[in-house]
Amino acid sequence: MNKLIKIKALKYPNIPHYEWEGLLLRCTQEYVIVGCKPGRKLIHHTKNKVFTMNNTSIEYFSLKDWFTAAMEIEDGKVVSTYCNVAKPSIFRNEQISFVDLDLDYIQNRNKKWFVVDEDEFETNSVKYGYSAELMREAKNALERLIKKINQGEFPFNISPEEFPLLLCSNLENIDNRTNS
């Protein structure tokens, strides 16, 4: 696979929010998994800034479920997880895009899970004109995500042994394009 792809987060309905690049590790009809190495640039359109990301992550993009998950990896283990409630991702022309619906579910380094950005969700529902149906689906998606995590369902059940296999053999093949 070893293909560098672009990842684009959008605000509803289709407004550029932020973007970065990563290495395509796995692609199925249901999901895409991307590996990201330290030093990659995250272009944040909403804040009009560019950030350098100094962590290694495995990022999961569902093509059918309403969430994404970025798992920060150290020494072959997940040390934190950041999940976006989002409309199902679209993978087309070597690019993943998803509409971020503001609600996030995060596992910090202490292994505690918590919901963030509920106020942003309420504010943006007015600002971007979320329909009642979209708001209901986003809240239901958060509940389904929490259940999936609590039940240890994929991708939250990937064994630590798989991370080095996914990352080590593939990430070293990313060239300096991710640092430019």
Domain 3-168: give its CATH architecture: Beta Barrel (2.40)
At 160, is the pLDDT very low, low, confident or very high (cuts 50, 70, 90)?
low
Q: What is the pLDDT of residue 139?
A: 98
Q: When comparing pLDDT for 117 and 174, which is higher?
A: 117
Burial class of residue 159 in the structure, from the number of CB atoms within 10 Å of its CB (0-12 exposed, 13-18 middle, 19+ buried): exposed
Question: What average pLDDT does the structure give for the chain?
Answer: 89
Specify the length of the chain in residues.
180
What is the average pLDDT across 29-52? Answer: 95
| Domain ranges for the chain | 3-168
At 98, is the pLDDT very low, low, confident or very high (cuts 50, 70, 90)?
very high
Q: What is the pLDDT of residue 1?
A: 55
Partners of 67 in the β-ladder? 85
pLDDT digits (tens, 9 = 90+) for 103-158: 999 999 999 999 999 999 999 999 999 999 999 999 999 999 999 999 999 999 87
- Taking 90 as the threshold, does the pLDDT of residue 166 lie above it? no
What is the average pLDDT across 155-180? Answer: 55
Q: Is the dihedral of CA 21, 163, 63, 1 positive or negative?
A: positive
Is this prediction's pTM over 0.85?
yes
At 165, is the pLDDT very low, low, confident or very high (cuts 50, 70, 90)?
low
